[in-house]
A and B are shown apart, each in its own frame.
Chain A
Amino acid sequence: MKSYGLRNRRAAPALLLWVSSIAFAPDIARADSILSPVGPVGAGNKIILLDALTIMLAIVIPTMLATIAFAWWFRASNTRAVYRPDFTYSGKLELIVWSIPTLVIFFLGGVIWIGSHKLDPFQPLPSSAKPLEIEAVSFDWKWLFIYPDQRIASVNRLVIPVGRPLHFRITSASVFNTFFVPRLGSMIYAMNGMVSQLNLQADKPGTYLGISAMFSGDGFSDMNFDTVAVPAGQFASWSGGVKGAALDRAAVGQLLKQSRAVAPYTYRGVDTSLFNAIASQKLPPGEGPTTGRGGPAGRHVMPHGGR
Chain B
Amino acid sequence: MLGKLGWNAIPFDQPIPLVSGAVVILIVLGILIWVIAKGWGPYLWKEWITSVDHKHIGIMYVLLGLIMLLRGFIDALMMRSQQTLAYHAPGYLPPEHYNQVFSTHGTIMVLFAAMPLVIGLMNFIVPLQLGSRDVAFPTLNSVSFWLTATGALLVNLSLIVGEFARTGWLPYPPLSELRYSPGVGVDYYLWAVQISGVGTLLTGINFVTTILKIRAPGMTYLRMPMFCWTALASCLLILAAFPVLTATLAMLTLDRYLGFHFFTNEAGGNAMMFMNLIWAWGHPEVYILVLPAFGIYSEVISTFSGKPLFGYRSMVAATLFICIVSFCTWLHHFFTMGAGGNVNAVFGITTSIIAVGTGVKMYNWLFTMYGGRIRFTTPMLWSLGFMTTFITGGLTGVLLAVPPVDFMVHNSMFLVAHFHHVIVGGVVFAILAALAYWWPKAFGFRLHEGWGKAAFWFSFVGFYVTFVPLYVVGILGMTRRLQHYDVADWRPWILMSALGTVILVVAVICQVVQLAVSFMRRNELRDVTGDPWDGRTLEWATPSPPPVFNFAVLPQVQDAEAYWDVKRRAREAATFGKEPEYQPVEMPRNSPTGFICAFFATIVGFALIWHIWWLMVLGLIGAYVTFVVFAWRDVPEYVIPADEVARIDRANREIRQEALAGASAT
Q: How many residues of A contact B (CB 8 A)?
A: 127
In the assembled complex, which residues on chain B have CB atoms less than 8 Å from the CB atom of A251? none
Contact of A298 among B4, B337, B366, B492 (CB under 8 A): B4
Which residues of B are interface residues toward A (Cβ below 8 A)? 3-6, 8-9, 11, 95-96, 99, 162-163, 166-168, 172, 174-175, 178-185, 187, 256-259, 265-266, 271-272, 305-314, 334, 336-338, 340-342, 344-345, 348-349, 352-353, 355-356, 359-360, 362-364, 366-367, 369-376, 384, 387-388, 391-392, 395, 398-399, 401-405, 407-412, 464-465, 468-469, 472, 475-477, 479-489, 491-493, 495-496, 609-611
* Contact between A56 and B398, CB atoms less than 8 A apart: yes
Q: A298-B183, A304-B259 are in contact. Are A197 and B395 (CB under 8 A)?
A: no
In the assembled complex, which residues on chain B have CB atoms less than 8 Å from the CB atom of A71? 369, 374, 384
* Contact between B496 and A218, CB atoms less than 8 A apart: no
* Contact between B472 and A63, CB atoms less than 8 A apart: no
* Contact between A70 and B366, CB atoms less than 8 A apart: yes
Is A130 positioned at the interface, with any CB of B under 8 Å from its CB?
A: no
In the assembled complex, which residues on chain B have CB atoms less than 8 Å from the CB atom of A306? 178-179
* Contact between B477 and A34, CB atoms less than 8 A apart: yes
Is A207 positioned at the interface, with any CB of B under 8 Å from its CB?
A: no
CB within 8 Å: A-B pair count: 378
* Contact between A83 and B371, CB atoms less than 8 A apart: yes
Q: How far is the CB of A224 from chain B (nearest CB, A)?
A: 8
* Contact between A52 and B387, CB atoms less than 8 A apart: no
Contact of B388 among A33, A68, A194 (CB under 8 A): A68
Is A153 positioned at the interface, with any CB of B under 8 Å from its CB?
A: no
Q: Which of B172, B364, B370, B399 has the most CB of A within 10 A?
A: B370
Other CB < 8 Å A-B pairs besides A112-B352, A188-B336, 4 of them?
Answer: A63-B366, A109-B353, A288-B181, A294-B610
* Contact between B360 and A74, CB atoms less than 8 A apart: no
In the assembled complex, which residues on chain B have CB atoms less than 8 Å from the CB atom of A101? 355-356, 359-360
Q: What are the 3 A-B residue pairs with the smallest beta carbon separation, nearest first?
A: A292-B183, A84-B371, A295-B4
Cα distance, A75 to B183, chains bound together (Å): 58
Contact of A303 among B259, B364, B472, B481 (CB under 8 A): B259
Q: 6 interchain pairs (CB within 8 A)?
A: A74-B369, A175-B172, A197-B338, A215-B175, A292-B183, A301-B259
Is A3 positioned at the interface, with any CB of B under 8 Å from its CB?
A: yes
* Contact between B479 and A180, CB atoms less than 8 A apart: yes
Q: How far is the CB of A232 from chain B (nearest CB, A)?
A: 26
Q: How far is the CB of A126 from chain B (nearest CB, A)?
A: 16
Cα distance, A42 to B401, chains bound together (Å): 17
Which residues of A are interface residues toward B (Cβ below 8 A)? 3-4, 7-8, 10-12, 14-15, 18-19, 23, 27-28, 30-35, 42, 44-46, 48-49, 52-53, 56-57, 59-60, 63-64, 66-68, 70-71, 74-76, 81-85, 87-90, 93-94, 97-98, 100-102, 104-105, 108-109, 111-113, 115-123, 140, 174-176, 178, 180, 182-183, 185-189, 191-194, 196-197, 209, 211-221, 224, 281, 284-285, 287-295, 297-299, 301-304, 306-307
In the assembled complex, which residues on chain B have CB atoms less than 8 Å from the CB atom of A53? 395, 399
* Contact between B182 and A299, CB atoms less than 8 A apart: yes
* Contact between A76 and B374, CB atoms less than 8 A apart: yes
Cα distance, A41 to B666, chains bound together (Å): 70
Q: Which residue of A lies closest to B465 (CB)?
A: A15
Q: How far is the CB of B155 from chain A (nearest CB, A)?
A: 15
* Contact between B402 and A49, CB atoms less than 8 A apart: yes
Q: A189-B337, A221-B484, A307-B266 are in contact. Are A109 and B411 (CB under 8 A)?
A: no
